[in-house]
Chain A
Amino acid sequence: MYRTNFRDHLVLIIGSLMMLLPVVVAFTTSTHEAADIHMNGLTLVPGDHFAETYETVLTRQGGFTGKVTGLTMLGNSLILGLGFAIGKIVLSMLAAYAIVYFRFRAATAMFWIIFTTLLLPLEVRILPSYEVMHKLGLINTYTGLIVPLLASATGTFFFRQFFKSVPDELLEAARIDGAGPFKFFIDILVPLSRTMIAAMFIIMFVYGWNQYLWPMLMTNDEGFYTLVRGIKQILIVWVGSQIPDYNEAFAMAVLAMLPPVALVVIFQNWFIKGLTESDK
């Protein structure tokens, strides 16, 4: 039997350090004063301004209108992340269900059309999408922020593959047990897909959480600012001899990282199961 030795651990340790160090540095740096950081650069030693920096970031009313706090931005990011995750999962599950279980004309062709859009990045269609939303009067609304990006080729593809691996006999047994198409979906397919749903939820939540370009286009009202935009906002203060609030920017970055990390930690078992094993 192979025993792990020191060299194996060394590889793992180096890998972990490379992943973790930047995060740690961001955190420790955020606990110093802006002037310190400006003079001494990044540091690994924790400072003593943890509480006040984070409190400022979360509660200070900033922006041009002076109404946006870190909490507002956190809320906006959450709405965006959750809206994306839930909306995309519902939509792509229904689409995959239709593609796999219903025989309609050109189903395969339609699937491949959906699938090829995987190759199109958001940026390609960002202007037409903006135009449509603008004409619908959805600028500066959560609907406008979320709905246009809900169609998910990735999600549809993953759920399609998953549904295809569900044995046909389950459908047949359910049909004999008197379950119609809707009941089969809700009673059998959705519970069976829960690990897959968890995996998709994490991926889509992080995707929504990290959106930058789209929210920037769709909203100009500061009440819709997300955390990711907030970080940028803090650094644009090169007025006169003012030093950018590096500490606050780092604090914001750390805060922006926490919810996705928490999500992954909580769901990691399901996440791994969903992407690897099939529990049938």
Chain B
Amino acid sequence: MAKIDIDHVFKTYAGGAQAVRDVSISIRDGEFIVLVGPSGCGKSTLLRMVAGLEEISAGEVRIGGRLVNNVEPAERDIAMVFQNYALYPHMSVRQNLAYGLKNRGTPKPEIEARVAEAARMLELEPYLDRKPRALSGGQRQRVAMGRAIVRHPAAFLFDEPLSNLDAKLRVTMRGEIKRLQRRLGTTSLYVTHDQLEAMTLADRLVVLNKGEIEQIGTPLEIYHEPASTFVASFIGSPAMNLLQGRSTENGFAIGPDLWRLATGPLDDAAITIGFRPEDVTFTRDMRAGPEFLLDYVEELGAQKLVHGTVGGQAVSATATAEFQPQESMRLTVPEHRIFLFSTATGKRLRTPITPMQPAGDFSPVKA
């Protein structure tokens, strides 16, 4: 168990392409950190640099206070779980688990004890003498985890360990990983592109975009206080609605429509507002928000997803199963659930939003 410090780390490839740019994360002892982002955002590269499989171009990585930039992967006291499990196909499960310990010269009784312990923890006991070929995907995944556990490392590194499993198994294994990490209290660094996996597993999330950190925070912080449109659209499913428009004296102008919100600064600035689908309510009150034109409805059973457009821009909303959508409705969102972003930079604007008094005789307002 150890803390991991990633300090101004860069990864520059021979061609000059930068996969990771100035990333600093300080991971506390026993913390579960999830690196999340779309493919090509540098999350795997970062993980592999911590593992020692990829050279660090600039910056420092410390594991348990020890600088490991030039330390071999085996000496870093870490264990890694790979996406395709990387089990040795010619070895039995038992040999797979024991291989790392054997190479370290661990005494035989100790190896046996640790393998037995890991096998019990992961319910692999009946399969110890099978070859990986004879195991199901979930079992292979558990063997890969077992190989990490037996070593009692300072940190676990997970590289998209669940992406090769089917959806149902993924949910089960997700729970299992979480439970195991809690129980062992081992510092973990986990890479995924699945925001749901990231939200459910992480103590803290690191959202990466194009090799740079967009935001670090607990899942709820990131969900409720996204720092940029990128984070806002990436975390949460269905994704947050983002509407581009201008803030005017009369309210927020979305194309020809006007939403009576004081979104200052009132300098006609290009602004993006964001709100989550679950914060949307529909009304027939013409004096409420902008007009929502229904496009199509997705039934999820417990609720339904209503898709449509506001001022020509796509908006989705969740509604109760009983809700009867109309072709044209008015949309409202509580002011404190609306986020403002600069359209130019995508960064969050911390301006308070207040409702504007609707005009007395209300007809669909045009900006």
Interface residues of A (CB under 8 A from B): 167, 169-170, 172-179, 183, 187-188, 191-192, 194, 279-280
A178/B53 contact (C-beta < 8 A), A169-B84, A172-B82, A173-B82 known: no
Quote the shortest CB–CB distance from A186 to chain B (angstroms).
12
> How long is the Cα–Cα vector from A173 to B72 in the complex, in angstroms?
13
Other than A173-B87, A178-B100, give 20 A-B pairs with Cβ distance below 8 A: A167-B84, A167-B86, A169-B82, A169-B86, A170-B88, A172-B82, A173-B86, A175-B53, A176-B51, A176-B53, A176-B73, A176-B78, A176-B79, A176-B100, A177-B74, A177-B103, A179-B103, A188-B88, A279-B89, A279-B133
A170 & B99 in contact (Cβ 8 Å cutoff): no
A280 surroundings in chain B (CB, below 8 A):
89
Q: Which 8 pairs of residues, A with B, have the shortest CB-CB distance? A: A169-B86, A177-B100, A178-B74, A178-B103, A173-B86, A191-B90, A169-B82, A176-B73
Chain A CB within 8 A of B104 CB: yes
Quote the shortest CB–CB distance from A89 to chain B (angstroms).
18
List B130-147 residues whose CB lies under 8 Å from chain A. 133, 147
Chain A CB within 8 A of B41 CB: no
A176 & B80 in contact (Cβ 8 Å cutoff): yes
A-B contact pairs, 21 of them (CB 8 A): A169-B83, A169-B86, A170-B86, A170-B88, A172-B73, A172-B82, A173-B80, A173-B86, A174-B99, A176-B53, A176-B80, A177-B99, A177-B103, A178-B100, A178-B103, A179-B103, A187-B88, A191-B90, A192-B89, A194-B90, A279-B89
User: 1/0 per position for B29-71, CB-CB distance to A under 8 A?
Assistant: 0000000000000000000000111000000000000000000
List B316-366 residues whose CB lies under 8 Å from chain A. none
A179 surroundings in chain B (CB, below 8 A):
74, 99, 103
A175/B103 contact (C-beta < 8 A), A167-B86, A169-B82, A169-B84 known: no
CB-nearest residue of chain B relative to A280?
B89
Quote the shortest CB–CB distance from A258 to chain B (angstroms).
32
> How long is the Cα–Cα vector from A175 to B51 in the complex, in angstroms?
10
List B205-241 residues whose CB lies under 8 Å from chain A. none
Quote the shortest CB–CB distance from A171 to chain B (angstroms).
9
B83 surroundings in chain A (CB, below 8 A):
169
Quote the shortest CB–CB distance from A277 to chain B (angstroms).
12
Quote the shortest CB–CB distance from A168 to chain B (angstroms).
9
B74 & A172 in contact (Cβ 8 Å cutoff): no
Quick one: which of A167, A175, A183, A192 contacts B72, CB cutoff 8 A?
A175
A175/B73 contact (C-beta < 8 A), A169-B84, A187-B99 known: yes
A167 surroundings in chain B (CB, below 8 A):
84, 86
A176 surroundings in chain B (CB, below 8 A):
51-53, 73-74, 78-80, 100
Quote the shortest CB–CB distance from A59 to chain B (angstroms).
45
> How long is the Cα–Cα vector from A178 to B83 in the complex, in angstroms?
20
CB-nearest residue of chain A relative to B103?
A178
Quick one: which of A174, A178, A192 contacts B104, CB cutoff 8 A?
A178
B74 & A175 in contact (Cβ 8 Å cutoff): yes
CB-nearest residue of chain A relative to B104?
A178
> How long is the Cα–Cα vector from A192 to B91 in the complex, in angstroms?
10
B99 surroundings in chain A (CB, below 8 A):
174, 177, 179, 187
A192 surroundings in chain B (CB, below 8 A):
89-90
Quote the shortest CB–CB distance from B47 to chain A (angstroms).
11
> How long is the Cα–Cα vector from A280 to B91 in the complex, in angstroms?
12
> How long is the Cα–Cα vector from A178 to B75 in the complex, in angstroms?
8
CB-nearest residue of chain B relative to A172?
B53
> How long is the Cα–Cα vector from A176 to B82 in the complex, in angstroms?
11
CB-nearest residue of chain A relative to B75?
A178
> How long is the Cα–Cα vector from A167 to B83 in the complex, in angstroms?
12
A191 surroundings in chain B (CB, below 8 A):
90
Quick one: which of B78, B103, B147 contacts A183, CB cutoff 8 A?
B103
Quote the shortest CB–CB distance from A177 to chain B (angstroms).
4
Quote the shortest CB–CB distance from A180 to chain B (angstroms).
8
> How long is the Cα–Cα vector from A179 to B103 in the complex, in angstroms?
6
> How long is the Cα–Cα vector from A280 to B38 in the complex, in angstroms?
29
> How long is the Cα–Cα vector from A176 to B84 in the complex, in angstroms?
15
> How long is the Cα–Cα vector from A178 to B79 in the complex, in angstroms?
11
A169 surroundings in chain B (CB, below 8 A):
82-84, 86
Quote the shortest CB–CB distance from A231 to chain B (angstroms).
42
Quote the shortest CB–CB distance from B303 to chain A (angstroms).
40
> How long is the Cα–Cα vector from A192 to B88 in the complex, in angstroms?
9
Of B51, B73, B86, B87, which is in contact with the most chain A CB atoms at under 10 Å from its CB? B86
Quote the shortest CB–CB distance from A232 to chain B (angstroms).
45
CB-nearest residue of chain A relative to B74?
A178
> How long is the Cα–Cα vector from A170 to B147 in the complex, in angstroms?
13
A279 surroundings in chain B (CB, below 8 A):
89, 133
Quote the shortest CB–CB distance from A105 to chain B (angstroms).
15
B87 surroundings in chain A (CB, below 8 A):
173
B73 surroundings in chain A (CB, below 8 A):
172, 175-176
B78 surroundings in chain A (CB, below 8 A):
176
List B79-131 residues whose CB lies under 8 Å from chain A. 79-80, 82-84, 86-90, 99-100, 103-104
> How long is the Cα–Cα vector from A192 to B84 in the complex, in angstroms?
17
CB-nearest residue of chain B relative to A170?
B86
Quote the shortest CB–CB distance from A197 to chain B (angstroms).
13
Of A172, A183, A192, A280, which is in contact with the most chain B CB atoms at under 10 Å from its CB? A172
Quote the shortest CB–CB distance from B189 to chain A (angstroms).
14
B80 surroundings in chain A (CB, below 8 A):
172-173, 176
CB-nearest residue of chain B relative to A177?
B100
A194 surroundings in chain B (CB, below 8 A):
90
CB-nearest residue of chain A relative to B88?
A188
A175 surroundings in chain B (CB, below 8 A):
52-53, 72-74
Quote the shortest CB–CB distance from A35 to chain B (angstroms).
58
B52 surroundings in chain A (CB, below 8 A):
175-176
> How long is the Cα–Cα vector from A120 to B100 in the complex, in angstroms?
45
